[in-house]
Structure formats: structure tokens, C-alpha cells
Amino acid sequence: MLLKFVNRGEELTFLEEKWKEKKPQLVVIYGRRRIGKTELVKQFIKEKPSFYFLAKKQKLELEVERLAKRFSMKFNTYVEAEDFEELFERISGFFGEKRHIIVIDEFSHWMEEDKRIPSTFQLIWDEILSESKTFLILCGSSVGMMESLFSYKNPLYGRRTGQWQIAPLKFSDIGEFLPSYSIEDLVKVYACVGGVPQYLAEFAEERSFEENLINTFYRKGSILYEDGEWLLREELRQPTVYLNILTAIAEGSTRLSEIAGKSRVDITNIPKYLKVLLTLGLIKREFPVGKVERKSRDFVYKVKDLYYNFWLRFVYPYKDDIEIGNFKFELCRKPFEKYLGAVFEDIARELLSRVFPLYSIGSWWHRGEEIDLVALNERKKEIAFFEVKWSCLEMGEARRIVEDLHRKAGLMKWYNRERREKYGIIAREIKNKKNLWEEGILAYDLTDIKVLLRTAGRPQKR
């Protein structure tokens, strides 16, 4: 499987600017597994004096020996050392005054093996590398462990010169993985795997969306079938507890008491588990947009990682049937269409971030009333209200939706007498869309999102 390198322009610019500074750098790069950290680093170090090393989970004495051998082989030299300090002193001496990059990938493996490793690298940095021309990159997939390097109590605190958490690709990027797919099929792919590059690479362009879906998620041995549980086991000490909590949220439990009840976890313990899932980027807390004072009862929890959101709803509950080859996706077709509606809101939000670049964008709700997306600009006192529908709308139905949107907008307390309002609708398809625009209604559908894709990559087929 050839993993395409897509976008990541912002991340590469950050690294290139650090490289141009000429001074010694200690940069931490981290993010969930499969997100493309290694590909980013390898892209950055191309044609630069560099040494890349992938750490393993084994005794550090063996890692010192392995690193020395790999370095010796790459540079046709001989390096030997008893420990990391001696080894990095020899490596630094080899490069001398030459600007160079050293990458330790999966640095968190060493941290798991020995809690003293941050202290070891504090010494290496302070005594050896901080006076050299070394660009040291520490890369890791254990988000919590890598973020612990930023803690005041960590020996490496204050040593790093930069850090970057690698996020999933945006919807507007994924067309480069499947350039022949229609915009509607890309929405479906995104709903299943989000913007995780390695997961996107599992989809073969010559197969239809549904063929890919069956071949990846519903086949024993496939990465997409297994990763939901495997990643939790790798990252967490109580994977079953976290899996139960994630399942509760995916099935619609959004508040502490609901999540605790559904997952069978004591409510006094729920906050600590949720904090870990927030750190990992698997869930998110969402407040109503426009709230000036944010109180604990205002927010809701949602599954943020789209791979997990799909896997928890449409794979994990059916594992028994999948194991014996007795599963038919037909069982999930209607729930999947409903699920697409929620994912389409995320895509619509990305569209609005292009249309209203300086606006805060989010959902709004209050006492049983909800508006899918609201874009507001505090300085200009401008606000735009949108309903999002994963359906094909006739003009009359679109008008009725916008009429009800006017009613709900009146319930939102935000500069009510001063604000300038706009109203709109975003749908899979809107018939006679031009007429709605002439009536002052902002109307967007997949054809407009197709334009958004074109700005990020090659045009997609409809």
C-alpha cells in the first residue's frame, strides 16, 4: 500500500522556518496513530543531512546498540557507545559544525520502557546538543505521554523550541486519495474514516464505495476492522472501560449522568476518563455558539474521531456476525443515511469556514430548540443562521425550513437589536437554488462543496 502525502503545507512551513533559524532546535511532533506523522517527517528531511530512527519497545541497552549500528551503516562510519549520552556525543561529533536533523520516531516507546528517559534527554540536550547545530525531532503516537513533556514537572520542560500536534486531514483534502470518486461518495468515505491518511489509503479507487466498505471494515484481519480495539489497548490501561464510554457517547449519551449510566461507570469517576479521551482527540466538548458565560451544564460530549464514530455504530456491535461471515450491510443502510446527516454538518462547517473566514461557527441549542450552524462576527455584529440537510430539497421545502429558521433565530440572545442577520440552507441537493439566492437566502449544496474541493486539489466528478 503506497501512502500518499497530501497537503500538510502548514506543518511543513513550520518545520522549514525552524530549519532556517540555524540555531539548535528540539521539536516535539505527536498525534494519534495512522495520522501521518512519519510521512510528514520524512517529507521534511528529504535532501537534508539527517538521521531517522524508529524506536522499539525493548530494553534501552539494546536500543542504544541498535541506534549505533543503524547510524554506522547509514554514514559508513563506526559508532559505539555504552549509553545514550555517549552515543549522542559521538553523533554530534560526527556532524561537527554541519547543520543536521536527528529524528527519534515513537519516542514514547522509550518513555514507556524507562520513566527516566526525559531526564536522560535533558542531560543530552543541555550538555551536548544545545550548543550544536542539531535539529532534534522527538515524535510519538502516545498523545498523553508526549504532552507530558510539556509539563512543568517534566525534566524536558523549557527545552523544546516548538511542538505540533498533527490533526486529521480536512474533508477538502481527501479527494486526492480517490480522485475518480463522486463528491457524494467522498462524503461517505469521510463519514467512515475521517481524515486519517492511512485509513483513506485502504480504499481502492477501482472499487465502488460499498465494495471498499465491505472489503475493509467487514473483513477479519483488516486494519479498519481491528484498529478500534487495538488502538485503545495500545494507549490505555483500561481499554474496556473507555470503549464502553465511547460507545455510550456514540449512541447519543451527551451529558455526564447519561454517559455514566449507559457505560456503567460511577459518575464520580467519569470526568477523569473523559479528560483522557479529550486529550486523545477521540471526543470533544461542544458549547452553543455565542455563549458568553460557559457553564458546565451548557456543553455536550460528542465523538470527534470519525473513524471511531463509524466503527462504534456500524462495526463493533456486529462483531459476532462479522466473525462468522454472517453480516449484511443492508441492516445498517437506513441508520447510516441518518448518520451521514450528522457528518454532513461537519463538512458544512468546513464550507462555512471558507465563506465566513473571520467568523465563529458552531451549533446553537436552548430548551429543546436547535440551529444546526450559526456563523457570527462579534466585531461586525453579523450573524448567519443555517439548517443542514442530507437530502434533496425542492424549493418549497427549502423555503419552509428557512421560515422555521427565522423563528428559532429569534430565540437566540445575541445583540438582538443591533445584529445584521442572514439565513441559509446547506443540503445534498437544492432544486432551483438560483431562485433562493434571488430571494436573499444563502443556498449551498454538494456542487458548492465540489468547488471547495477544487481549491484544495483536483476537481472531483459529480
Q: Tens-of-pLDDT digits for all 462 residues of the chain?
A: 445 567 788 999 999 999 999 899 999 999 999 999 999 999 999 999 999 999 999 999 999 999 999 999 999 999 999 999 999 999 999 999 999 999 999 999 999 999 999 999 999 999 999 999 999 999 999 898 999 999 999 999 999 999 999 999 999 999 999 999 999 999 999 999 999 999 999 999 999 999 999 999 999 889 999 999 999 998 888 999 999 999 999 999 999 999 999 999 999 999 999 999 999 999 999 999 987 655 556 899 999 999 999 999 999 999 999 999 889 999 899 999 999 999 999 999 999 999 999 899 999 998 889 999 999 999 999 999 999 999 999 999 999 999 999 999 999 999 998 999 999 999 999 999 999 999 999 999 999 998 877 655 443 443
Architecture of domain 171-340: Orthogonal Bundle (1.10)
How far apart (Å, rounded) are the C-alpha atoms in residues 337 and 184? Answer: 12
342-456, what's its fold? Trna Endonuclease; Chain: A, domain 1 (3.40.1350)
Structure-block grid coordinates of residue 242: 473507555
Q: pTM for the full model? A: 0.91
Structure-block grid coordinates of residue 363: 451549533
Structure-block grid coordinates of residue 311: 466503527
The single-letter code of the amino acid at 44 is: F
Q: Which CATH number fits domain 9-165: 3.40.190.80, 3.40.50.300, 3.30.200.210, 3.40.50.720?
A: 3.40.50.300
Q: Quote the longest CA-to-CA distance of the chain.
A: 77
Nearest Cα residue to 248 out of 234, 267, 261: 261
E strands in 50-171: 50-54, 100-105, 134-140, 162-165
Structure-block grid coordinates of residue 87: 552515543
Do residues 108 and 143 make contact, with C-beta atoms less than 8 angstroms apart?
A: no
Q: For residue 380, what is the DSSP state?
A: T
List, edge to edge, every strand of the sheet that includes 50-54.
50-54, 100-105, 134-140, 25-30, 162-165
E strands in 145-236: 162-165
Q: Where are the domains of the chain?
A: 9-165, 171-340, 342-456
Q: Which residues contact 311 (CB under 8 A, 6 or more apart)?
A: 217, 224, 227, 228
Structure-block grid coordinates of residue 14: 513550520
How far apart (Å, rounded) are the C-alpha atoms in residues 25 and 457? Answer: 33
Nearest Cα residue to 97 out of 73, 72, 53, 131: 131
